[in-house]
Chains A and B, each alone.
Chain A
Amino acid sequence: MMWFDLALGLGLIIAAIGVFRSEDLFRAVVLFVTFGILLALTWLRLQAPDLALAEAAIGAGITGVLLLDTLGVFRQHEQDINPRSSSQLPDISRQWAANVLALIACISAAGLLAWSLFNTLKMPAPHHNLVTVVEANIADSGVSHGITAVLLNFRSYDTLLEVAVLLVAIVIGIGLRERVTTSANATSDEGQSKLSEPPALLTSLVRLLLPLLLITAIFVLWAGSTRPGGAFQAGALIAAAGVLARLGQIDIAARVTTMLRLGLTLGVFIFLIVAVSPMLTGKPFLTYPAGWEGTLILLIEFMLTISIGLILLSLFIQAPRPRIPAPVRNAIPATGPNAIPATGPNAIPATGRNAIPATGPNAETNKGGDQ
């Protein structure tokens, strides 16, 4: 098994270098997804199946889809505008400044890492092992899986804020999208009609996979209380199902309706209600009433799954399409296609075809006139 681990670690490093070194963006994205899958395998080897699941679903899956989608948008615009333009290259002094800045950033990051490593080594060993503390208190948490107990009971504050961050991200995404579409209505129409009729083979596969994906998502959610699994992984599966459904032209988040907004906020809303309601009886924020922990955690996880799935899916669908910067779009056609006809086909007749008749027949007629 040691050789496998060694190959895995080396593969991770090579994939990471490949992502940064590759000139082709598409190759970089594919390598990034490969990196995510290798990382998921690494977590599995480190006996952290929860992290492996999350990395495979969110790191490799959803992020890969988002990156590929962005790449597709870039490609479309590259076809519109001619990418060959030397004016876009930064001049040498700018490049120098960027290099110096990057060097400073690298040195300070390395210093910070070295400093924290040094301090960690100097620190005395912690008095209590966190794993044993969790195991000692797990009976009170309402679930029997340590990770879920930490995420939704012992450190539920962190989880609440994580989900809130996701919600803020999608709110900003939708806000930007709406700004873009109201300023130029054409872009939204383009986005709607971009999907052409999908092949029948794809739609039948989507029909086969959708129920399976939903069942798996519910299983992963349910398993979360006793085994590796939980709301984030299940939400990522639901998002994947949504992306697949969109490919088969069953679009559940195409328009930002009230229902979608409700779904997006449901998880945080329920979580907050459960968190705040004990305060009515004088207990601190985020304490579950005794005996109700398991039920409430499952309720929160179920709502979170719906919200996380919809948020990830909406990030994919509702993300604003980048607008082509106006000066680039105007400048290139003016110097490109227009410039070449002016010096090319027009220039040759002026010196070639016109010039020869001028010296040819005219010269002869001149001769004739002389005679």
Chain B
Amino acid sequence: MTLLNIFQTLFITIGCLFFLIGTIGLLRFPDVLTRIHALTKADNLGLGFIVIGLIPSMSTAADIAKLIVCWVLILAASSVSAFLVANQHIKKSKEFKDHDVV
């Protein structure tokens, strides 16, 4: 086991741990907003760690670039979709409150 292998194992393990934490958060947190928080923050960090851990295994620069592009795209997509879900949730709950008052 070389130093590089240890480094890779460490990073991928940390990444998986973050995914695990994110999933526990998704299951245990009480409402939409906290769940989004758990999913998007922890999972994207975990994905980053896994990507860093995988980079030394790639043979060409193009493969490394593809991995990084994947990470960036998932970051962008998940942050925007989290924003959309949260936005809709806030809108809906406001409507609900207005109805309650009336």
Contact = CB atoms under 8 A, between A and B. Distances in A.
A209 B69 CA distance: 12
A208 interface: yes
B27 interface: no
A61 to B, nearest CB: 13
A208 B76 contact: yes
A205 interface: yes
B87 A205 contact: no
Q: Which of B73, B76, B77, B80 has its CB near the most chain A CB atoms (within 10 A)?
A: B80
Contacts of A212: 73
A350 interface: no
Interface residues of B, number: 7
B76 A199 contact: no
B29 interface: no
Residue among A201, A209, A212 facing the most chain B CB atoms (10 A cut-off): A201
Interface in A193-211: 199, 201-202, 205, 208-209
B77 A199 contact: no
Nearest to B80: A205
B10 interface: no
B84 interface: yes
Interface in B58-92: 73, 76-77, 80, 83-84, 87
Contacts of A201: 80, 83-84
Contacts of B80: 201-202, 205
A244 to B, nearest CB: 10
Contacts of B77: 205, 209
Interface residues of A, number: 7
A209 B76 CA distance: 10
Interface in A169-224: 199, 201-202, 205, 208-209, 212
Nearest to A204: B80
Contacts of A208: 76
Nearest to B83: A201
Contacts of A202: 80, 84
Interface string A94-106: 0000000000000
A205 B80 CA distance: 7
Contacts of A205: 76-77, 80
A111 to B, nearest CB: 42
Contacts of A199: 83-84, 87
Most chain B CB within 10 A, of A199, A205, A208, is at A205
A54 B14 CA distance: 33
A277 to B, nearest CB: 40
Contacts of B83: 199, 201
Contacts of B73: 209, 212
A205 B87 CA distance: 16
A212 B84 CA distance: 21
A201 B82 CA distance: 11
A306 B6 CA distance: 48
Contacts of B84: 199, 201-202
Interface string B34-61: 0000000000000000000000000000
B25 to A, nearest CB: 18
Contacts of B87: 199
B65 to A, nearest CB: 13
A227 to B, nearest CB: 14
Nearest to A198: B84
A208 B79 CA distance: 14
A212 B72 CA distance: 13
A52 to B, nearest CB: 16
Given A201-B84, A208-B76, A209-B77, 13 more contacts: A199-B83, A199-B84, A199-B87, A201-B80, A201-B83, A202-B80, A202-B84, A205-B76, A205-B77, A205-B80, A209-B73, A209-B76, A212-B73
16 contacts: A199-B83, A199-B84, A199-B87, A201-B80, A201-B83, A201-B84, A202-B80, A202-B84, A205-B76, A205-B77, A205-B80, A208-B76, A209-B73, A209-B76, A209-B77, A212-B73
Interface of B: 73, 76-77, 80, 83-84, 87
Interface of A: 199, 201-202, 205, 208-209, 212
3 interchain residue pairs of minimum CB distance: A205-B80, A201-B80, A201-B83
